[in-house]
Amino acid sequence: MLDYEKYLRYRTFPVPWCPGCGIGMIFKAVAMTFSKLEWEPNDIAVVSGIGCSGRLSTYFNTNSLHTTHGRALTFATGVKLSNPDKHVVVFSGDGDALAIGGNHFIHACRRNLNMKMVVINNNIYGMTGGQVSPTTPTGFISTTTPYGNTEPHFNTVELAKAAGATYVARETVNRPRQLLKVLEKAFKHTGFAVVEVISNCHINLGRRNKLKHPIPMLDWINQQTIPIAKAKDMSEDELELKYVVGEFVHRHRPDYFEVYENKVVKKAKGE
Amino acid sequence: MDIIEQRINEEARKRRKKPAAKPHSVIIKEQYCKGCSICVNVCPTGVLIIEETPKSIFGLIAKIDKPDYCIGCMLCELHCPDFAIIVDYEKRKVDDE
Amino acid sequence: MSEVKIRSGNELVVEGAIAAGCKIFGGYPITPSSEIAEGMARELPKVDGLFIQMEDELAAMGAVIGASLGGKKVLTATSGPGFSLKQENLGVAMIAEVPVVIVNVMRGGPSTGLPTRGAQGDVMQARWGTHGDHPVIALAPAFPEEVFTTTIEAFNLAEKYMTPVILLLDEIVGHSHEPVELPKEGEYEIINRKYPDKVEDLAIYKREMGEPPLRPDFFMGYPIHVESLEHSDQGYPNTVPENVEVQQKRRLLKIENHKNEIIKYKTHFTDDAELVIFAFGSMARSALEAIKLLREEGIKVGLFQPITIWPFPEEQLKDVVKDRDTLVVELNWGQLIYEVERVLKDNKVHSLLKMTGMAITPNEIIDKIKEIKNA
């Protein structure tokens, strides 16, 4: 668990994110999970999209690929198809995964390839300077909602569950130990696993909503965080702006390649 | 240093009860620390404080103030987004090229 | 005993791809190229390959690039609208120098246009479709056997120069079912990408100016980084002007310096021709038919048929045409003609340009030639 440095591409350090940005913390949690599961760097491909989280692939000392905005999952699908026995982990932000990448997100969930997806949700387009995203809380100010966001937002977990993902969990950057637990379960799971991590963007979201320092932003996230057990007996309205954390889905569906091998290749070869 | 950092330092100092029975070692990689103050805020025994420095982007950096108070809980390392703080550096096979 | 089979152009793309060693196809249904996806779905599992239909054309483009980085020979096929969707991800294959073959079975455009009708209106998109400066190889077969051999050629060029290669058919070539006798295995060359013996300092893009990179694939023991940002020799993001210049030039010169090895073309009856027709793909077939009929009337016309559209066969066209008049026949309202006029700036360049959903027929070409002769 602690020998995570072999997954860090030190030659590209220091990491580029703003002081206190949650992405670095998630990066370490994933590296620690790789270390715990003893995955060899050469057996891992880290694929990331565009945005603050998109820069992650550069800093992992594994096979890594920085793709186009919203399309990380499509490239990752190809990497996995060509090497079914290797580990493919995709990093994507809320904009990258749920706005421009939404179509690929639901299809990846449906297809259930054995890939892992970490959705780093800081509720804003950070890289481009603070525009509203599909998860920005209603009422929040952003550069493209100067009068307050009026649109409703996605529930990433429900979206993944409905689309067919077979492991779905949500955690926040305030809870590293719990995050490590769900990451380990997600990475060990056979099938498409989605872990949404609520992260703090105090520079682009917080600054325009009276939370301009990492600590108040993290505290705000903490106040919105409700463990799944407690949330069970809360109403929809009560849960409106809340982040329910824990494991939501853990079910089994046949592995994509087993089915392709048995149902397609065998038939094609007339076996 | 803003008021918020001063408040974080004060609260950190308030959490100092007594030195740890078996103190652990902590090191800060100053070339990576951006002075975000998260480690100072999460350290349960007030080992760390935020200090002004010309070396860091925002003119702040974390500093080990009470090393013998460290109980080795790892929260600082778990929360640090910049790989700038490591607990029990020597014990762990750690190479940093 | 010759083995003559009846095949459509789309079916020949499938046979060519399998022969070339393609192992993964990512596609999406679109007229008039769906038969390629259907054929690959049938044939790939037989050769331990894998077919996937993605949720849209740009997803298919991403998937095949990922699979190529994973070490496989890959193919995707589409038509105009899908080709437009693929452009951004095609750019990743350009900047990261990833071998991938993209078939565009052209149909009447723009937009939904004429889905079931042949056209040649995507030629400039094949050259400049994705944004920014980038090298391009685009091939356009006309005759059945050429579709098979040019598909293999596309894979060979992609592997050799570590680049995307665009295979331009049009609906007429794609859907015409004709007898064809294909070369046997061993009668055609198969090229696979080369790997470095050892990788020094992970500088996977460092090489002689104008040469393709020697780069390991994923999972070969090197933690390589493949980047859609401009990158350094190691492939890490790097936008330092001096580095940008080196990387941009390396990619552009990799094709420019090897143009004459890449460019393929055919000439028909050009030795004694008074006028040379410039036509590719289905229009080369119309032209050749017209030429035979004209020669029966004693009118000597020849045909310059480029197989390689990009890089444009400049020297080759000048060598063949010399100072003779030229007639450009294109199934669009004027695209490659700009290249022909640029290259043959001292010659008289006539044009027969039309995109109405119907092929330009031999008779139309004959009338045009007679019109030029009598003018």
The Cα–Cα gap between A167 and A157 comes to: 10
Q: Which letter, b or e, does each residue of C258-296 get, where b requires 16 or more Cβ atoms within 10 Å of its Cβ?
A: bbeebbbebbbbbeebebbbbbbbbbbbbbbebbeebee
> Angle of helix A214-224 relative to helix B3-14, nearest 10 degrees?
70
pLDDT reported for residue B40: 98
Chain A residues lying within 8 Å of C232, measured CB to CB? none
Chain A residues lying within 8 Å of B34, measured CB to CB? 18-20
B97 pLDDT tier (thresholds 50, 70, 90): very low
Chain B residues lying within 8 Å of A20, measured CB to CB? 34, 36-38, 81
Q: By three-state DSSP, how is residue B39 classified?
A: helix
Contact C59 A12 (CB under 8 A): no
| Same domain for C39 and C172 | yes
User: Could you tell me the residue range of the domain that residue C365 belongs to?
Assistant: 264-374
Count other Cβ atoms within 10 Å, centred on residue A6: 15
Q: Are A78 and A58 in contact (CB under 8 A)?
A: no
Burial of A151 (0-12, 13-18, 19+ CB in 10 A): exposed
| Same domain for C165 and C17 | yes
Is residue C59 situated within a structural domain? yes
Mean pLDDT of B39-67: 94
Question: DSSP labels for C157-182?
Answer: HHHHHTSEEEEEEEHHHHH-EEEEEP
- The three-point CA angle A131-A22-B59 to 5° equals 90
The Cα–Cα gap between A168 and A162 comes to: 11
Is residue C205 situated within a structural domain? no
Contact A82 C89 (CB under 8 A): no
| Same domain for C283 and C153 | no
Contact A265 C218 (CB under 8 A): no
Is residue C233 situated within a structural domain? no
Structure confidence by residue, pLDDT tens digits, C335-346: 999 999 999 999
The Cα–Cα gap between C322 and A143 comes to: 61
Average pLDDT of the residues of chain C: 97
B83: nearest CB among A11, A24, A176 = A24
**In the numeric block, which tokens belong to residue A120?**
């780093």
pLDDT reported for residue B56: 82
Domain containing C274 — which CATH number?
3.40.50.920
Last residue of a domain, one of C130, C148, C182: C182
| Same domain for C270 and C159 | no
Reported as type and span, the H/E element at residue C370 is helix C362-374
Q: By three-state DSSP, how is residue C33 classified?
A: coil
Q: Are C354 and C331 in contact (CB under 8 A)?
A: yes
Radius of gyration for chain A, computed over Cα atoms and rounded to the nearest angstrom? 18
| Same domain for C177 and C271 | no
Average pLDDT of the residues of chain B: 93
- Minimum distance, in Å, between the CA of residue A10 and any CA atom of chain B: 7
Domain containing C140 — which CATH number?
3.40.50.970
pLDDT reported for residue C139: 98
Amino acid identity of residue A181, one-letter, is K
Reported as type and span, the H/E element at residue C342 is helix C336-343
Contact B81 A25 (CB under 8 A): yes
Which residue stretches of chain C have pLDDT < 70? Answer: 1-2
Query: Which residues, at least 6 apart from A1, have a Cβ–Cβ distance to it below 8 Å?
Result: A32, A35, A36, A180
The Cα–Cα gap between C43 and C23 comes to: 10
Q: Phi then psi for B93, rounded to 5 degrees?
A: -65, 100
Chain A residues lying within 8 Å of B83, measured CB to CB? 8, 13, 15, 24, 28
Residue found under tokens 């803003």: B2
pLDDT reported for residue B90: 83
B95 pLDDT tier (thresholds 50, 70, 90): low
Question: What are the DSSP E strand ranges found in chain A?
Answer: 44-48, 63-66, 87-93, 116-121, 167-172, 193-198, 225-227, 243-250
Is residue C361 situated within a structural domain? yes
Selected residue of B1, B36, B61, B85 to mutate for chain A interface (largest A Cβ count, 10 A): B36
pLDDT reported for residue B94: 55
Chains touching chain C at 3 or more Cβ pairs under 8 angstroms? Answer: A
CATH of region A4-268: 3.40.50.970
What are the residue boundaries of the structural domains of chain A, listed by start?
4-268
Contact A58 C236 (CB under 8 A): yes
Last residue of a domain, one of C156, C182, C208: C182
Contact A24 B31 (CB under 8 A): no
Radius of gyration for chain B, computed over Cα atoms and rounded to the nearest angstrom? 13
pLDDT reported for residue C289: 98
Is residue C42 situated within a structural domain? yes
Chain A residues lying within 8 Å of B81, measured CB to CB? 15, 17, 20-25, 27-28
Contact A260 C50 (CB under 8 A): yes
**In the numeric block, which tokens belong to residue A206?**
């917080």
Total number of domains constituting chain C: 2
- Minimum distance, in Å, between the CA of residue C225 and any CA atom of chain A: 5
Is residue C196 situated within a structural domain? no
The Cα–Cα gap between A108 and A115 comes to: 9
Structure confidence by residue, pLDDT tens digits, A37-74: 999 999 999 999 999 999 999 999 999 999 999 999 99
| Same domain for C269 and C163 | no
Mean pLDDT of A97-120: 98
Q: Are C19 and C69 in contact (CB under 8 A)?
A: no
The Cα–Cα gap between C124 and C106 comes to: 12
- Minimum distance, in Å, between the CA of residue A37 and any CA atom of chain C: 18
- Nearest one of C89, C67, C52, C54 to A69, comparing CA atoms: C89
Last residue of a domain, one of C182, C213, C240: C182
Is residue C97 situated within a structural domain? yes
Selected residue of C57, C68, C218 to mutate for chain A interface (largest A Cβ count, 10 A): C218
> Angle of helix C336-343 relative to helix C314-321, nearest 10 degrees?
60
Chain A residues lying within 8 Å of B79, measured CB to CB? 25, 173, 176
In order of A93, A159, A194, the CA distances from A240 in angstroms are 21, 16, 21
The Cα–Cα gap between A98 and C59 comes to: 15
In order of C54, C114, C127, C146, C160, the CA distances from C21 in angstroms are 21, 33, 26, 18, 14
- Minimum distance, in Å, between the CA of residue A106 and any CA atom of chain C: 10
The Cα–Cα gap between C102 and C164 comes to: 7
> Angle of helix C57-69 relative to helix A102-111, nearest 10 degrees?
60
| Same domain for C274 and C132 | no
Q: What is the DSSP letter of A95?
A: I
- C100-108 and C164-170 as β-strands: parallel, antiparallel, unpaired? parallel
**Which of these ranges, A127-131, B89-93, C3-7, C258-262, has the smallest mean pLDDT?**
B89-93
Is residue C195 situated within a structural domain? no
Structure confidence by residue, pLDDT tens digits, C305-359: 999 999 999 999 999 999 999 999 999 999 999 999 999 999 999 999 999 999 9
- Minimum distance, in Å, between the CA of residue C25 and any CA atom of chain A: 10
Contact A19 B58 (CB under 8 A): yes
B38: nearest CB among A2, A10, A20 = A20
B93 pLDDT tier (thresholds 50, 70, 90): low
